[in-house]
Amino acid sequence: AQSVTQLDSQVPVFEEAPVELRCNYSSSVSVYLFWYVQYPNQGLQLLLKYLSGSTLVESINGFEAEFNKSQTSFHLRKPSVHISDTAEYFCAVSVGNDMRFGAGTRLTVKP
Amino acid sequence: DTGVSQNPRHKITKRGQNVTFRCDPISEHNRLYWYRQTLGQGPEFLTYFQNEAQLEKSRLLSDRFSAERPKGSFSTLEIQRTEQGDSAMYLCASSLRTHEAFFGQGTRLTVV
């Protein structure tokens, strides 16, 4: 079965600094990859996804992630973060109907 | 489209009591998922419906847990004889395609 490892449980950064949230997965078959964001007291929201095609995917709010098959990674990056990006970020891998989530990375953006 | 709706948002119950949660998916979404999320962890898959058929159940779903989706619309998740270890956020998600799941805000269960 597939699994997901988020390498950092907490990432504190200053506003306008770049950030990278790391995600590695394991699977013996082709997968779909996702990043979800969870703001306090809210449900998970899909941030971006990789299904096929270009290995670099972008979200509408400036985040991007790159699928690296050889390193089995799907790291999330943003060149300049805002206070409003403070949230919990979950990486997920899907094979068929089975979606597995990582333990999450808490991004805290400080002024 | 009002998104995935879950009720209640919060539930406090005494150990040994039964509880039932409801999930209303996005209309026309034929797939519905239940997850459980504990503090500091990512969501863990519990079960999956396609229309009214329950196609997959996790080993996490003990005999005290039962889920239904009558008529392929809303779904309920019942926990019988609740235990303190059942305290968690229960998340529902729906999708039209397997790779675009939309989540509700969850039901937070506290067993005292």
User: Residue B98: which pLDDT band, with cuts at 50, 70 and 90?
Assistant: low
Strand partners, A98: A95
Taking residues A52-76, what's their average pLDDT? 91
The Cα A63–Cα B3 span in angstroms is 23
What is the percentage of chain B residues whose pLDDT exceeds 90? 74
- Write the CB contacts of A43 (distance below 8 Å, at least 6 apart in sequence): B4, B91, B103, B104, B105, B106
Q: Which residue, B18, B53, B57, is CA-closest to B36?
A: B57
Mutate to test the interface with A, among B36, B91, B103 (most CBs of A within 10 A): B103
The Cα A20–Cα A47 span in angstroms is 15
What is the predicted pLDDT for the residue at B36?
A: 95
Lowest mean pLDDT among A13-17, A58-62, A63-67: A58-62
Q: Which residue, B99, B108, B98, is CA-closest to B49?
A: B98
Long-range contacts of B65-72 (CB under 8 A, 24+ apart): B67/B34, B69/B32, B72/B30
Taking residues B63-84, what's their average pLDDT? 95
What is the percentage of chain B residues whose pLDDT exceeds 70? 98
The SS3 assignment for B57 reads strand
B48 to chain A: closest CA residue: A97
Q: Which residue, B100, B105, B6, is CA-closest to A39?
A: B105
| A80 and chain B in contact, CB less than 8 A | no
- The answer to whether the CB atoms of A46 and B101 lie below 8 A apart is yes
What is the predicted pLDDT for the residue at B54?
A: 92
Predicted confidence (pLDDT) at residue B22 exceeds the cutoff of 70: yes
Tokens of A61: 């709010």
- State how far residue B91 is from chain A, nearest Cα, in angstroms: 8
Lowest mean pLDDT among A54-58, A82-86, B72-76, B97-101: B97-101
Better-predicted residue by pLDDT, B82 or B40: B82
Strand partners, B37: B89
Per-residue pLDDT of A9-50, as tens digits, reads 999 999 999 999 999 999 878 889 999 999 987 889 999 999
B37 to chain A: closest CA residue: A103
The Cα A25–Cα A71 span in angstroms is 9
What is the predicted pLDDT for the residue at B61?
A: 83
Phi/psi for B23 (5° steps) reads -130, 125
What mean pLDDT is reported for chain B?
A: 92
Q: Cα B39 vs. chain centroid, distance in angstroms? A: 17
Radius of gyration, CA atoms only, chain B: 13
- The answer to whether the CB atoms of A97 and B55 lie below 8 A apart is yes
The SS3 assignment for A44 reads strand
Per-residue pLDDT of B32-58, as tens digits, reads 999 999 988 889 989 999 999 998 888
What is the percentage of chain A residues whose pLDDT exceeds 70? 100
- The answer to whether the CB atoms of B56 and A51 lie below 8 A apart is no
What is the predicted pLDDT for the residue at A43?
A: 84
What is the predicted pLDDT for the residue at B56?
A: 85
